[in-house]
Structure 1
Amino acid sequence: MDGYAKAIAFAPGHITGFVEFPTPMLDDPLLKGSRGAGVCISKGITTEVHLYPYDGLEVPEIKISINGKPCSDADVSLYVVKEYLRLVDIRRFKLDIMHRADIPIGYGLGSSGAAALSLSYALNRAFMLNLSNEEAARIAHKADLACRCGAGTVIAEYHGGLEMRLKAGAPGIGIVESIIDEVDDYKVLMLCISPYSTKEFLTNRIGMINGLGGKMLNILKESRSVETFLDLSFRFARSIDFITDRAARVIDALHCIGCKASVALFGETVFTIVSNDKVGEVEKVLSCYRDLYSNSSSSVCYLSCSIDTRGATVIEDTREPS
């Protein structure tokens, strides 16, 4: 490696509405994943990588931060870095990884998958490995699975859009189709109430949900409508008893103004997808409950996003000679 390299990449957040986890016969992580449906949002994780050559180190020096704060337990990011170290023939360098999140972490918005995916894209450019985007995304998929932070998030964030994951697997193996193609007239509105551990669910409760998600996919493939997606998502969350009392009150209030809604899997986050002319009415409801729930928790926040259709992307790629 000669000189200094900098790369910046972005991956959108993602909300899963309903899901199932088919078990493949093989142990290959590229064949594993989830089927289901969800939506990618315009806010997510931006990852900036600075790579410096440094002869004074016997091993790489790696620093990871999230929103400016050093992070020592970024398991997914460390997994991605270790995968790249297998691919490069240099060992003496400094690597600064800076994740900037404009979505709250732990609320079912796909932050771990977005961190892994944006980091993988950025490292690919910084190390000049010339992997395809699909190959880089597969590394992120493996990381999200291995750390039990997600199973189909990466392939969804790789594609973008309001999507159905029809076949489990990593990018290039799993199959993704858009529910609808024209999404400019829609907004995704969310009330993020409290975080929830995806790892806990994937470890202890995964067996309770298989079967229903596949049946719902068949319904959605026929309908291909936003309203059906929201209706199925609500039925799914209710069937696995994942709607808390606080979330239920918000959903009921949205139903009263004619808006279907559900909760993000897996987090205590109420979400809806509405046409632009309905945004103001929904904002009033969500803002009211944000103020109400903020009295007991400082973690409550409201988000308004467009539907992201680009998927993950490299923003900047810079290098300077030594």
Structure 2
Amino acid sequence: MHFSVTSVMKAFAPGSVTAVFAPTESGDESRGASMAIEDGLVADVRAADRTDVVLDGERTEFEPVENLLDELGVTARVELDADVPIGCGFGASGAATLATALSANERYELGRSHDELVQLSHLAEVEAGTGLGDVFIQSAGGLLMDDGRGKRRWEPADIVEYVSYGGMSTSEALGDDELMSRVQTVGRRILTSFPENPSLERVTRDAWAFARELELPTSRVRDTVLEVEAEGGTASMAMLGETVFAVGIDGVLPNSTQISHEGAHLL
């Protein structure tokens, strides 16, 4: 098959932090409360005879990106530049896949719609076991909530601070039926308890209750949340990573970002 090829085209997708989630009955999607953040990932797709993925200068296996390119019917060299830690609860795999989709679509003039690219990215993530809906938040931007009664989106102006101590295996967690059953029960209860337009502080506080009830926080996460609370802020754990995000503080945690209102886009 012949594709026309444009000049080098990059795309950006924001990272995302999921505060609370609950898998749907089908298991291939998730409801929850999540935010897109301005720290994210850039993909630069270039024509190549075989598919290679390069992350921050190092060649790597990146299954959802490779799945996506296969579905689009192209081979390419994908150079990824990440501003967020990989595998630590920032939706980096979703951001990489979505940014790659936007870049490849433009690079090869594939003519796919934005919504179609988002859906293909989501399916590539589900197939790889790396996410259950991060790309929808990363496409829309803002703070997105879906409690089963319809999606709501708003644009908080809060500064979000964060620190990451490492990753957790998303694929292992999503494949743990007992854990996911508990997540579904607790997550649904928390999500339906939120008011119509909760503050980011309220979402974060209830997210911490969610994480603790599921016994997910490590000792480092717990200690950091206590440190934030001692400074008058509110903190919780990103799903799924050994990562703390917080609001209502200034300079307590080493990284600072804001809610990305724009969502994924070409550069």
The TM-score bracket by the shorter chain reads over 0.9
Q: What is the CA deviation profile of residues 142-188 of structure 1, one whole-angstrom value per residue up to 9, with x for unaligned ones?
A: 011111111021111111111213459xxxxxx5322x43x33x111
What are the ranges of 5 or more consecutive residues in structure 1 without an aligned counterpart?
Answer: 53-59, 89-93, 169-174, 287-301, 316-322
Greater gyration radius = 1
- Matched pairs, number: 263
Give the TM-score of the pair, scaled to structure 1.
Answer: 0.77
**Residue 45 of structure 1 aligns to which amino acid in structure 2?**
L
Corresponding residue to 2:117 among 91, 114, 136: 136
**Structure 1 segments of 4 or more deviating over 6 A?**
none
Moved more, 206-215 or 119-128: 206-215
Q: What is the CA deviation profile of residues 284-303 of structure 1, one whole-angstrom value per residue up to 9, with x for unaligned ones?
A: x33xxxxxxxxxxxxxxx32
Give the TM-score of the pair, scaled to structure 2.
Answer: 0.92
The aligned counterpart of 1:200 is 172
1:270 is the counterpart of 2:244: yes
The aligned counterpart of 1:176 is 151
How far apart are residue 128 of structure 1 and its match? 0.8
Corresponding residue to 2:141 among 156, 160, 172: 160
Q: What is the CA deviation profile of residues 106-137 of structure 1, one whole-angstrom value per residue up to 9, with x for unaligned ones?
A: 11010000011000111111121211111111
The aligned counterpart of 2:161 is 189
User: Are the equivalent residues in 2 in contact too, given 1:39–1:161 (CA < 8 A)?
Assistant: yes
Moved more, 303-312 or 1-10: 1-10
User: Are the equivalent residues in 2 in contact too, given 1:106–1:267 (CA < 8 A)?
Assistant: yes
**Residue 29 of structure 2 aligns to which amino acid in structure 1?**
G
Q: In structure 2, how many angstroms separate the alpha carbons of the residues matched to 1:145 and 1:100? A: 22
Q: What is the CA deviation profile of residues 291-319 of structure 1, one whole-angstrom value per residue up to 9, with x for unaligned ones?
A: xxxxxxxxxxx32111101111111xxxx
1:63 is the counterpart of 2:52: yes
The aligned counterpart of 2:186 is 212
Matches within 5 A, 1:111-122: 111-122=92-103
How far apart are residue 223 of structure 1 and its match? 4.9
Q: In structure 1, how many angstroms separate the alpha carbons of the residues matched to 2:196 and 2:4? A: 54
- The secondary structure found in structure 2 opposite 1:311 is coil
Matches within 5 A, 1:198-277: 198-204=170-176, 205-274=179-248
1:84 is the counterpart of 2:56: no
* Percentage of matched positions with identical amino acids: 27
Give the 3 Å change call, closer, same or farther, for CA 312–176 of structure 1 in structure 2: farther
1:307 is the counterpart of 2:259: yes
**Residue 269 of structure 1 aligns to which amino acid in structure 2?**
T
- The secondary structure found in structure 1 opposite 2:79 is strand
Q: In structure 1, how many angstroms separate the alpha carbons of the residues matched to 2:190 and 2:116? A: 30
**Residue 10 of structure 1 aligns to which amino acid in structure 2?**
F
How far apart are residue 39 of structure 1 and its match? 1.3
Q: What is the CA deviation profile of residues 163-219 of structure 1, one whole-angstrom value per residue up to 9, with x for unaligned ones?
A: 213459xxxxxx5322x43x33x1110011121111111112322211221222222
The aligned counterpart of 2:42 is 46
User: Are the equivalent residues in 2 in contact too, given 1:114–1:157 (CA < 8 A)?
Assistant: yes
**Residue 82 of structure 1 aligns to which amino acid in structure 2?**
D
User: Are the equivalent residues in 2 in contact too, given 1:156–1:176 (CA < 8 A)?
Assistant: no
CA RMSD of aligned residues (A): 1.9
User: Are the equivalent residues in 1 in contact too, given 2:45–2:107 (CA < 8 A)?
Assistant: yes
